[in-house]
Structure 1
Amino acid sequence: MKDFQVNSSKENDLKILEQALSLEIEAIKRYHEQHDIVKDPEIHTLLEGLHRNEVDHEKIIREHILRLIGSGSDKIGDK
């Protein structure tokens, strides 16, 4: 029974991480698009910083996904 609970918890955690990863990827795309449009240098700089943060978040989420799934990690792709 405990193994089932651990697996179920792991699956739930992976689902949450996959959702978070999708959100981060969309945010990165959105900030990149906005960055290319904005003319104001201060807003341009702000968007660059936000973009970097999202890239860092994506990396951290991917690391946690890899940690949870172990081998077979090469199957994780952009959603």
Structure 2
Amino acid sequence: MELQSTLTCPKCGHVETETMPTDACQFFYDCKGCAVVLRPNAGDCCVFCSFGTVPCPPIQEARATGSEPTCCG
């Protein structure tokens, strides 16, 4: 499982690599380039699934096992 994901801000294009939490989804992320607060796109569970290069750990696990994601309750 990959725990590093590179987020790209859709507003300013700033790129930042972050470590994803393994015990919860991250709904908000403050862009370090323009200070906009990123929120997941409709249908995504977290900012990593919307703006990251790697989806969050629960989604990675679900894809690997072919099960339903147990993300965000």
> Normalising by the residue count of structure 1, what TM-score does the alignment of the two structures yield?
0.28
* More strand by percentage: 2
Which is bigger in relative contact order (C-alpha 8 A, separation at least 6)?
1
